[in-house]
Amino acid sequence: MRVLIVGSLGGQLSTATKIAMDRGAKVAHVDTVEQATSYLRAGRGADLLMVDVSLDIGALIKANELERITVPIVACGVNVRPEAAAGAIRSGAKEFIPLPPEADLIAAVLAAVSDDERPMIARDPAMLQVVEFAERVAPSDASILITGESGVGKEVMARFVHQKSKRASKPFVSVNCAAIPENLLESELFGHEKGAFTGAVARRVGKFEEADGGTLLLDEISEMDARLQAKLLRALQEREIDRVGGAKPVKVNIRVLATSNRDLRKAVQDGTFREDLLFRLNVVNLAVPALRERPVDAIALAQHFIKKYSAANGVDARPLSEAAKAQISSREWPGNVRELENAMHRAVLLASGAEISPDAIRMPDGSTFSSAGASGGVARQAAEAAEALQNMVGRTVAEVEQDLILDTLDHCIGNRTHAANILGISIRTLRNKLKLYSDQGVPIPGPGETRAAAG
């Protein structure tokens, strides 16, 4: 983990640095918010900023946003008034740490804010086979395509490959190709020179250069447009990139991993993905099985998430009851590990008694999960389907489509990629639909939310 400390931290700089380094972080330091943005713009990279609360945190966040740099910020200070700490949070800081720092507190914040604690948990034979294969190919420099349904843990697998590779001491840089608009993705990947376009106020190093010596993960590679695919192919073949507006190529030394929850061979047949790029990326394929195909992992992961969220919420970690384990291992989990994690977070908050029972494992709307063999389940589902069909009569296709999209987004707790996968549409199509609904005044759930929270 890379930590950038900004400011003097009220004279506690050396202490905070030592604690962070003892926890495995690589620490750098700058004095001002302007230097912080310049540091990040230059591609040195950081996973977390620890910023002196006396500095203008709001200005730092605004400057970073103009450069499309997103790094979580933790404010720090000595003898800080409560209103000053609250002001830092309102300005955009994720947390406030009082100084002198406590080692356990910094460790907890590093883990919680950076979300860097995503261990590879594999107990099921189906997953152990994939992990063993990943360990064998990790030391090479071969490009790897990691495939699987949305939420199965493709990025966790990518980080695992990086940690087992000879590049483990170098940066791991991830880019979500679906989350960045087409017109900005080229600059995000390859960087730009000052004046290359409106708003390019200074040279910006892209993710390829930021990952130099390490690993670059191209998440949801299927969402990249054809023109950019051609530029990516050249970068992979020649091991050099062209900044937007640049006069000469820049050599890079990286290993590229890519993920997709779509069938890229079908995308090639449809003409939306280059076959030569697929060959270049798919030197090795790691297919991560769905959670329903590894029920042993479901229990192990559930126990991990219970421990994680119990600690985060300051409550004792209760064990799962046998009935709850049976329910977890028998459920299909259409949202895979991501859905399981959210369910266990809710269970930690809702559980009462000595164990986590099935009643605590609920859907986002508060309803309990139905077991596959519940009495009357099939009849109830048939009645619900008939009622839903009857409710569609007399409505326009657009109205039904809007309900379907928003209901699916609720089911996915605001996760756009997962919803798009279930709906069978691209993430860009989904974003366009949601923007249309938002412009019409319809409440749209944000990531981690349902419409009840958005409204």
pLDDT tens track for 348-384 = 988 888 999 988 888 776 667 654 433 344 444 444 5
Domains and CATH numbers, the chain: 2-114 (3.40.50.2300), 134-287 (3.40.50.300), 291-360 (1.10.8.60), 381-454 (1.10.10.60)
Structure tokens at 1: 């983990």
Dump pLDDT digits (tens) for 324-348: 999 998 888 988 998 999 899 999 9
Task: Find the mean pLDDT for residues 430-443.
Answer: 88
SS3 138: coil
Check whether 214 has a pLDDT greater than 90. yes
Chain-centroid distance of CA 45 in Å reads 17
Range with the largest mean pLDDT of 91-95, 117-121, 164-168: 164-168
Structure tokens at 256: 């590229």
In degrees to the nearest 10, what's the CA dihedral of 261, 262, 265, 266? 170
Residue with tokens 């923007």: 435
Check whether 218 has a pLDDT greater than 60. yes
Structure tokens at 44: 């040195």
DSSP-derived pairing of the beta strands 48-52 and 240-241 = unpaired
Dump pLDDT digits (tens) for 11-65: 888 888 888 888 778 889 999 999 999 888 887 778 889 999 999 999 999 888 8
Cβ-based neighbours of 451, under 8 Å, separated by 6 or more: 406, 409, 410, 443, 444, 445
